Structure 1
Amino acid sequence: MPKNSVFVNSFESVCCAGESSETLFEAICAQQSGIKIFDEFIQNKPIALGKIEKPFSIEAILELTCKKVLTQSGLENFADTLLVVGSSVGGMQITEGIFLKEHAYTNIDPKLHVIDAIAHILSSKFSFKDDISFSTACTSSANALGYAYEMIAKGVYENVLVVGFDTLSLTTIRGFDALGVLSSRPCQPFDVNRDGMNVAEGIAVLLLQNKPHEKSIELLGVGYSSDAHHMAHPSPDGAGALFAMQQALKCANVEPHAVGYVNAHGTGTSANDASEACAIESLFGSNAYVSSTKSITGHTLGAAGALEAIICVMALQKQIVPPNTHLVEPENKTLDLVKVAKPHTFRYALSNSLAFGGNNTSLLFGLLQ
């Protein structure tokens, strides 16, 4: 079966650092973090989080974001479009809000709690041909993009809408606190003085299609791995992340030396950054520019893969390498960890998403030939 090409033709995002993808990329280049300090989530402990300042519900923002992508696309509707959602907590915040207010389960709608709650909400606002939801922790929307890639490449669908979505669920925040990985300040990925991550909420919506537009960026390859080293910690040598990156390049038939930019998962935790840096060094040495943008956006969990895919797409369109913010003293001395936004001519960008259980996904994007 001949393989169809897959193009990112329309996209939009909302997170703590920007109410649109354009304002987000400007904030990243200007190194203006959206992370703020909050003391109401954990008793007697201030923590740094990425919260969307919203006058109305995040579900309403999600609907508006999808409408913007529909307008950009030129499609009349999503009737012939597959919806693929990636989320780590689904509608948990909705049910938390009800329970914490009423201290009872009576008014909780199960359909608005489970992982496909986001697809359920969107399907009530738009008409999709079908939908599927992924929940694989921090690789959720990266895996959603991978599934979309396969559906278009195999000719099953011509249009696939990928939605990455996660909110600041109290259960999630306290869960990461129990793991001892939350920072009380904006995170410092890859820095020797890093002390943890910043949980954040985010929305990222991308329309993938089998035909290009004028400003399209191609999704060229997807790589997966599962090193199963530990339930929460990655393999110290980065074997899982390395294999996922190698598979993405193999899928696209692209050599490592051709990749100009790697958007690292880079959470700011000790274990993740050391492992991922080892993996990137093993594959690229100092030949690719590397940065984590989570010091600006926070870690949007299930939405991170889709949000950082948008960042890679915009980096290619604008030919600008996003910088590492708050990076003072890099732990890894080999990687080219850029400290300021860098104009650069490059054709390929790789995005890493790494999750609990050694679940790893890499996505390779490229300019049209």
Structure 2
Amino acid sequence: MTINNKVYINYFDSVSCAGNDSLELFQSVCEQKDTIFTDTSYIKEKVVAIGKVSKDENLQNILLKRCEKLLEETKLVDFSKTLLIVGSSVGGMDETERLFFQNANYKKINYKKHPVDAIAYHLKEKFSFYDDVSFSTACTSSANALGYAKEVISKGIYENVLVIGIDTLSYTTVCGFSALSVLSSKPCTPFDKNRDGMNVSEGFAILLLQNKKEENSIELCGVGYSSDAHHMTQPHPEGLGAKSAMQNAIYDAKLNINDISYINAHGTGTYANDFSELNAINSLFIDKKPKVSSTKSITGHTLGAAGAIEAVICCMILQNQIIPPNKGLVEPEIDGINYSMEISKERVNYAISNSFAFGGNNTSLIFGITK
């Protein structure tokens, strides 16, 4: 017997530079709030714009409290029958850096709190999960975590899966992107001819996926993967991998291409990404052009957390039937795209969220209103 359960998102929460919860995040995105600011502390004699979370404590400790809040607000008594899936690009690197720079010595560094599964390790000190898995595939980390969650629920392996996407700012990542010459000194403007780069940011999102529908459930309908392996850091200029990922997601969701109303683009604000993704969208959607926007001009690029945070944004779009605009988009790079230029109240049944990573690792997720 083939098991093919539907997969529902029944709870979500987030913390980012754009807001302390999902409602604040969505308001910031819709109202085009200023959330990205310049910083000189990461790179000597260089100004970069980054997205910092306003916080008095470690982001991982805030995450612990939000998991406690989830238990209070859902039907889960504990996490004993829940699979934990974490998507992160840097893991506990910020903690390692803090200790190293503080002492100029590696001996006080806890090796268990450094790798990508450091987040799961931290959570397991407080909660008892049935099991845990960690994904680190750069900027697709938490999108791939969501894809894996859909697979294990749809096959009847788990009933409850908690997906967490989280990344914190670190010198290693900020300086690494600076070395690639892709950082902007101002809030990024994806898809605009005059853009000059991306904004590294931090934050997390948590999503509870289950096999049972609730009143305000959002369905994770489809997942599409591809790997174009065109270049170590740049996507194929024609967007072949991005196009394939979106096609595969539509096929997995058993939808028609014209069913898609909105695309939350990866849209980092770098030339290589924007040009490739727009070409992919243009070549895939011929008859009906879905609205397209990037929300990274508000959230910044949260790296491994981006897929989860933008999944939350898609859930809010579907629940509110509101499409946010592209902040800072004045002169579009490519014609033929249905750019969302202002906030609009319109019918959205299905939304695609794109996440693309170094090495040509591409993931597209489709979210829909439950039926």
Q: Judge same fold: TM > 0.5, yes or no.
A: yes
- What's the TM-score, normalizing by structure 2? 0.98
The 3-state SS of whatever aligns with 2:275 is helix
- The aligned amino acid for 2:181 is G
- The aligned amino acid for 2:70 is V
2:68 match: 67
Aligned-partner Cα distance in 2 for 1:225–1:14:
29
The 3-state SS of whatever aligns with 2:18 is coil
Which region of structure 1 is more displaced relative to structure 2, 221-230 or 32-41? 32-41
2:306 match: 304
2:316 match: 314
Which region of structure 1 is more displaced relative to structure 2, 322-331 or 136-145? 322-331
The 3-state SS of whatever aligns with 1:197 is coil
- The aligned amino acid for 2:352 is L
Aligned-partner Cα distance in 2 for 1:50–1:89:
16
Aligned-partner Cα distance in 1 for 2:225–2:118:
26
1:13 match: 14
1:257, distance to aligned residue in structure 2 (A): 0.8
1:2, distance to aligned residue in structure 2 (A): 2.2
1:177, distance to aligned residue in structure 2 (A): 0.2
Q: Return the match for 1:327 from 310, 313, 329.
A: 329
2:256 match: 255
1:56, distance to aligned residue in structure 2 (A): 1.2
- What's the TM-score, normalizing by structure 1? 0.99
Aligned-partner Cα distance in 1 for 2:151–2:289:
29
The 3-state SS of whatever aligns with 1:114 is coil
2:208 match: 207
Aligned residue-pair number:
369
1:107 match: 108
Q: Return the match for 2:291 from 289, 292, 306.
A: 289
The 3-state SS of whatever aligns with 1:85 is strand
Is 1:30 matched up with 2:31? yes
2:343 match: 341
- The aligned amino acid for 1:50 is G
Aligned-partner Cα distance in 1 for 2:116–2:299:
23
Aligned-partner Cα distance in 2 for 1:258–1:71:
36
Is 1:138 matched up with 2:139? yes
Which region of structure 1 is more displaced relative to structure 2, 210-219 or 61-70? 61-70
User: Over residues 84-142 of structure 1, what are the superposed CA-to-partner deviations in whole Å (9 max), with x where a residue is unaligned?
Assistant: 00000000000100000101111101100011000000111111000000000000000
1:255, distance to aligned residue in structure 2 (A): 1.0
Aligned-partner Cα distance in 2 for 1:67–1:197:
33
Where in structure 2 are the equivalents of 1:347-362 lying within 5 Å? 347-362=349-364
1:243, distance to aligned residue in structure 2 (A): 0.3
1:58, distance to aligned residue in structure 2 (A): 1.0
Is 1:50 matched up with 2:67? no
- The aligned amino acid for 2:323 is V
1:126 match: 127
1:235 match: 236
The 3-state SS of whatever aligns with 2:95 is helix
Aligned-partner Cα distance in 2 for 1:71–1:12:
13
The 3-state SS of whatever aligns with 1:351 is strand
Where in structure 2 are the equivalents of 1:142-181 lying within 5 Å? 142-181=143-182
User: Over residues 296-351 of structure 1, what are the superposed CA-to-partner deviations in whole Å (9 max), with x where a residue is unaligned?
Assistant: 00000000000000100110000001211011111111111112111111200000
Is 1:226 matched up with 2:219? no
- Answer whether contact 1:261 1:348 (CA < 8 A) is retained: yes
- Relative to structure 1, the CA distance from residue 356 to residue 45 in structure 2 (aligned partners, 3 Å threshold; closer, same or farther) is same
- Answer whether contact 1:86 1:143 (CA < 8 A) is retained: yes
- The aligned amino acid for 2:369 is L
Aligned-partner Cα distance in 1 for 2:281–2:67:
34
1:72, distance to aligned residue in structure 2 (A): 2.6
Is 1:94 matched up with 2:98? no
1:71, distance to aligned residue in structure 2 (A): 2.4
1:78, distance to aligned residue in structure 2 (A): 0.8
- The aligned amino acid for 1:226 is S
- Answer whether contact 1:69 1:206 (CA < 8 A) is retained: no
- The aligned amino acid for 1:241 is A
User: Over residues 25-59 of structure 1, what are the superposed CA-to-partner deviations in whole Å (9 max), with x where a residue is unaligned?
Assistant: 01111000310110111111110000001011111
The 3-state SS of whatever aligns with 2:164 is strand
Aligned-partner Cα distance in 1 for 2:72–2:183:
38
- The aligned amino acid for 1:112 is K
1:67, distance to aligned residue in structure 2 (A): 2.0
- The aligned amino acid for 2:192 is D
1:116 match: 117
- The aligned amino acid for 1:349 is A
Aligned-partner Cα distance in 1 for 2:119–2:281:
33
The 3-state SS of whatever aligns with 2:126 is coil
- Answer whether contact 1:16 1:34 (CA < 8 A) is retained: yes
Aligned-partner Cα distance in 1 for 2:72–2:327:
33
The 3-state SS of whatever aligns with 2:138 is coil
- The aligned amino acid for 2:365 is L
The 3-state SS of whatever aligns with 1:329 is coil
- Answer whether contact 1:33 1:297 (CA < 8 A) is retained: no
Percent identity, aligned pairs only?
58
- Answer whether contact 1:69 1:205 (CA < 8 A) is retained: no
Is 1:268 matched up with 2:273? no
Aligned-partner Cα distance in 2 for 1:70–1:340:
37
Aligned-partner Cα distance in 2 for 1:168–1:67:
24
